[in-house]
Amino acid sequence: MERNLLLTLQYDGSGYHGWQVQENARSVQGVFQQALFSVLGVRPDIKACSRTDTGVHAREFCLSMKLSHGIPTERLVGALNHFLPPDIAVTGCRPVPPDFHARYSCRGKRYVYEIWNHPVRNPFLYGRALHYYHPIDAELLNRAAQHYLGRHDFTAFCTLDKREAGDFCRTVTESHVERDGDMVRFTVAADGFLYNMVRIMTGTLLGVQQGRFAPEDIPAILQSRDRSCAGVTAPACGLYLQKVFYDLPEEAAANEE
């Protein structure tokens, strides 16, 4: 009997050209599909929750696939982790309804951007956090981040490419900056994200720190719908997909966060 399975992964994206399979580059999906083939002898059609770009990390990445193989879910997790490299891990596998789709059933995501704010770089965070050596006023950036909350057109915070154009409005439900020692974290959750949206939001916050913008400038930047009005695109190294939200029974408590 065919089952529809939801798998959760974690990965360090430093050594990969993003999630999606690419012809001449190593991707997380390519490595994962090879592990699947080693375990199952088939290559199921995978539906991913999103596409992470080169160097972006995931603490929770979700994918769904329909599988006729009878391997128990708990054995599938262990078998896949046996064949996966140390920088990718499957953290869970569970059956979901037949019409569940990792991308289209998703009702929101949370991202975290991490900044190591110290005069001296931390070699253990190389490729895993942005090193910003000038002092950061986290309270100032948090005040600016509040202007992202609500439903807005985020055209000014999107890198336009060959992807199909559409509705650039998104609803941001969580946006704040916090300091934990020398680590500064920008956390943002929304019902969806545009290409490079979180990295441009982060770059704009750093522009506030640098005096290029005031916190109160952000509404005007949003209203401009002009990418040149916003800040730079922050490097990929500090970005983590933190949480993916679905309307599933076991997710009920987590969705109340």
Those residues whose C-beta lies under 8 Å from the C-beta of residue 195, and which sit 6 or more positions away, are 158, 159, 160, 161, 163
Directed axis angle between helix 197-209 and helix 138-145, to 10°? 130
Category of 198 on φ-ψ map: left (φ > 0), alpha (ψ -120 to 50) or beta: alpha
Category of 55 on φ-ψ map: left (φ > 0), alpha (ψ -120 to 50) or beta: left
Half-sphere exposure of 182 (CA within 13 A, CB side): 14
State the catalytic residue, choosing from 12, 45, 53, 167: 53
**Strand 150-153, strand 169-180: pairing:** antiparallel
**Strand 169-180, strand 183-190: pairing:** antiparallel
**Single-letter code of the amino acid located at 101:** H
Those residues whose C-beta lies under 8 Å from the C-beta of residue 161, and which sit 6 or more positions away, are 195
CA distance 251 to 254: 5
Is-catalytic flag, 137? no
According to DSSP, residue 164 is labeled: P
Half-sphere exposure of 110 (CA within 13 A, CB side): 17
CA distance 164 to 232: 23
Closest CA to 62 of 93, 95, 27, 97: 93
Catalytic positions are: 53
